[in-house]
Chain A
Amino acid sequence: MNNFSKRSYIIIAIFAVVGLVYIIRLFSLQVVDSTYKQFATNNILREIVQYPARGLIYDRNGKLLVINKAAYDLLITPREVKTFDTLQLCNLLEITREELEIKIQEAKDYSRYKPSILVKQIPPESYANLQEQLYKFRGFHTQSRTLREYETTAASHVLGYVGEVTASDIKNSTYYNMGDYIGVSGIEKTYEEALRGTKGVQKKLVDVHNRIQGSFLDGQEDVPAQIGKNVTSSIDLDLQLYAEKLFQNKIGSVVAIEPSTGEILAMVSAPTYDPGLLVGRVRGSNYAKLVADTLKPLFNRALLAEYPPGSTFKILNVLIGLQEQAINLYTRFSCAGPASTPIRCTHNHVTPLGPIQAIKESCNPFLWNTFRAIINKGKTSADGFNMWREYVQSFGLGKKLGSDLQYENKGNVPTEEYYNRFYGAGHWNAMTVRSLAIGQGELGITPLQLANYCAVIANRGYYHIPHVVKEVEGEELKADFLEKVNTNISEEFFEPVIEGMQRVVETTNASVFMKIPDVVMCGKTGTVQNPHGEDHSAFMAFAPKDNPKIAISVYVENSGYGSMFAAPIASLLVEKYLKGEVEESRKWVEERMLNIDLIHPKQEN
């Protein structure tokens, strides 16, 4: 009937061989081999995840900013739990019976077989008591974790904080599991991969009393945890602390940059908060309080607040004018003082005046004349405007700089389309948008951008993308940070405007507040019109004039003229950074700034 019926024997033989192999294997596994019997009858294999210590964070001079402290989680494996003394456990954990029952139920709902965290972040003191008594509680065990501890209260916005992973973090990465920690903001977030290290795993055998009996297979399958890499921040702790001190009772921000590298030396957003508040079991409630605070301490003004640049922007318009030969060093425009139209000038000064003098006097008519000349260089106003806009953007304004801090605001430099929509194409010209000449109107700039713009002037035409990390242990710094970003302005045009900026610091009425002995500082004040209240005081500066070491931007909200608050604060910071101390002769300026309270009197009104 069928020629191949003999093949049934081959198939039966295949079945038999597989069966025989399995029987032999089972015999060796169950009878001969004692390896698996050593894991005595009642032992359980438990995988203990080894959490590496997070990398430390240093300031630029090697001072520790962020370290770790130990804490412990208590885990429960519902399947293994035996009757236990609930009251005793509640006392040890300092929680109520109801809380404990709810948590145990949650753990059961998650899995009866897998351990889940019952109580998080038990401090070492309570842990010592707990560990002694733990043998009474079957099905419970602990694991050690590290929490952040801060050596300083400063720089919270730069350092950022660490929190538990969210569902989306777990989904987007294979590394994270429920309950892991992850950097949520600041350096902690950007450098998460370097800082976190790599989790390890230890396979242990535990007996029925939950005591570890030894390693599984002598630890052959253990994977050691790798400690996180240390990160050296570019922040200068002394400068940062001093800046935060000067900003007590004020709202505003400071950004200081080393022009030659783009390293951020200090970044303050006031009011600030103590980073230690966002660690451990108190984190949740403290976070809620900070979010509810009307002064928004969690809001990083240095990166996110957008102000008009005010008169600080005049430098840029003069530079563009010189580059485009709309003006030259011999150009003179006259100024009618308060009677000038369309923008009046509040400063009393000689007339007519040239560009250097105009910067010193912050002369509005000179600037709108210059601005008009620039815009009129184009075939149409729109052409001229686009050309102007390109120059502005090359200074890092109106775009994200690409620093290593998240959530930069890109600020605002209006586009041709914006004005076309507003006025209609062809129905606007330089004078329609004249506010741009003096840094008002639609312009928006963040304190970081202002500091970077100042660094461009200090460097005579280029910048490095600002960044807060100087070095990651064993890694190369991102190549972008090492490259120069050039502007479209020739180096030669910077000297005259810098000359003007030096005169601002040294020869105006406000010089008394900002002239630092033996240091040539160049700066520019700004008074930012604020429709919601008192004007904001702004100031940018760099020093020394030759081979600058620091470029700084200061905004003090609702405080009035730039020369009143922002300039003295900036000068104190520059002095502190360059000389290490503020000289006796200027202690009165320091006193004056420290004592001013711009927050609380308002609340009394």
Chain B
Amino acid sequence: MAKRNNVWANIDWVTVLLFLLLIFLGWINIYAAIYNPENQSIFDVSERYGKQLIWIGAALALGFLILLIETNFYVFFSYIIYGFFILLLILVLFMGKEINGARSWFDIGGVRLQPSEFGKFATALALAKYMSSFGFKLQRFKSIVVIALLILAPAFFILLQNDTGSALVYFSFVLVLFREGLSGVILFFGSLIALLFVLALVLSNLILNAVLIGAVLSIFLIMNTRLKQFGIILIIFSLSIGIFFGLNEIVSTEYQPADFLFSGGLLGALITLIYSIRKQISNYIIVTVIFIGALLFSVSVDYGFTNLLEPHQQVRINELLGIESNPQGAGYHVNQSKIAIGSGGFWGKGFLNGTQTKFDFVPEQSTDFIFCTVGEEWGFVGTFVLIILFLTLFIRLVLLAERQRSGFSRIYGYSVAVILFFHFMVNIGMTIGIMPVIGIPLPFFSYGGSSLWSFTILLFIFIRLDASRLDHLSN
């Protein structure tokens, strides 16, 4: 038996401090977002800031409680906890209350709970347990299948609740798998395909083809030691694209410049492929094959999108990607959001000074668009500090995870870091117009009991695990 250490002495107070700072900042920004000169008391529980204070109190109590529980509890009960929340996710489909088109809430005597929020830490526990079990090897086919099931099951049920944003969060586990040894190639190609898929829909064909050709030529240029070979390839591409443009000048056709780039690029790539096979330059072969694949993939996405999907499905994807701006919907929010953030300037307008004019628009200002309040009232200084705070927390979590001796704690720690990171990335990205409008909360900041509690549980279990890291000598 290992010697038991004092939990309180080993708690990572930096993380706890960051946590406290973030929920405090969140709370005063919720107050500012809803601030109304007629009713100024920050403790008024009929308003959201008052309620948030109650949620915060409960969250702190919850965090404290978690620290009291033995670490073994989480290890032993992780599958049961997981199973319990999967059950809730199914039950909510039948007994849930529908709000804003998503059936994700249990309404228990006026208190609304969102099981999808709690599914995250449950999944992280189960994943940690499974991947840290004795003799586990990620490379086995069976392991991959079980992991996929563990992650996709909750995502699937959340998707059925019509809450796409929360379901997407589960993709962040891929980063955990990567840390645990998932081949980087899979991650690379996965991201490449996802990127191409989005680009194919967002960019026009002409630009996309140009970008792809530009990218492949730059790669050739970067990896090349001898300029002569690069010159040859450049000539091949220029000629083959030129041929198609020239042909069109002679025999005028209905084809568009995008088509010439496509056919020219394809022809160029095929010639380059033959050239590099003959010269036996393996790197070139790989790059060209990937390029050809990317070119064909992007065309087929475009084709599949316009010909295979129903119009309403197209609209949904377009709205998700922000291509189609519904003047009453997503596009409107982003415009308002950008105006609010942009108008904050370098120093911001000052606490509570933005309230008179901004955000007359969305009821989500205290939840999904809370970052606007920060941007407007605290300016670039405020947003910069907030991003640094979040990054410090994430990096701290990664470092803590790395110092764990048990696989269970490490994997769980990484899960916490990437889940929080994903929320941060999508939520802030959406308010500054980089990410599509997907309604997921900013951790510790957005108004809402369920999300605050679930993030608190998620984080504090890890703090507890970390506090007893010296207990475990096994694994």
Contact = CB atoms under 8 A, between A and B. Distances in A.
Are the chains A and B members of one assembly? yes
Interface in A395-447: none
A230 B39 CA distance: 53
Contact of A29 (B357, B418, B432): B432
A111 to B, nearest CB: 8
Contacts of B339: 36, 39, 45
B181 A3 contact: yes
Interface stretch (A17-25, A116-124, A495-503): A17-25
A44 B360 contact: yes
B349 A30 contact: no
Interface string B419-438: 00100010011001010000
Contacts of A25: 432, 434
A18 B425 contact: yes
A27 B344 CA distance: 11
Contact of B384 (A26, A37, A216): A26
B391 A19 contact: yes
Choose among A30, A77, A201 the residue with the greatest number of B CB atoms under 10 Å from its CB: A30
B363 interface: yes
Contacts of B387: 19, 22-23, 26
Nearest to A207: B357
Contacts of B76: none
B301 interface: no
Interface stretch (B65-73, B202-210, B375-383): B375-383
Contacts of B429: 22
B112 interface: no
A5 interface: yes
Interface in A1-17: 1-5, 7-8, 10-12, 14-16
B327 A223 contact: yes
B164 to A, nearest CB: 19
A47 interface: yes
Given A11-B398, A42-B357, A37 B179 contact: no
Interface in B380-404: 380, 383-384, 387-388, 390-391, 394-395, 398-399, 401-402
Contacts of B388: 19
A77 B342 contact: no
B375 A26 contact: yes
A47 B345 CA distance: 24
A11 B342 contact: no
Contact of B379 (A12, A30, A39, A208): A30
B178 interface: yes
B357 A37 contact: no
B119 to A, nearest CB: 23
Nearest to B359: A113
Given A23-B387, A25-B432, A113 B327 contact: no
B345 A37 contact: yes
Interface string A111-148: 10100000000000000000000000000000000000
B317 to A, nearest CB: 17
B327 A15 contact: no
Contacts of B405: 1
B356 A42 contact: yes
A19 B390 contact: yes
Nearest to B353: A41
A208 B380 CA distance: 25
B341 interface: yes
Interface stretch (B13-21, B219-227, B330-338, B442-450): B330-338
Contacts of B43: none
B179 A7 contact: yes
Contacts of B421: 15, 18
Interface string B344-370: 111001000000111111110000000
Contacts of B181: 3-4
A167 interface: no
Interface of A: 1-5, 7-8, 10-12, 14-16, 18-19, 21-23, 25-27, 29-31, 33, 35-37, 39-45, 47, 77, 79-80, 111, 113, 201, 203, 208, 216, 221, 223
13 contacts: A4-B179, A15-B395, A22-B428, A25-B432, A26-B387, A30-B342, A30-B344, A31-B346, A36-B338, A37-B345, A42-B356, A47-B327, A221-B331
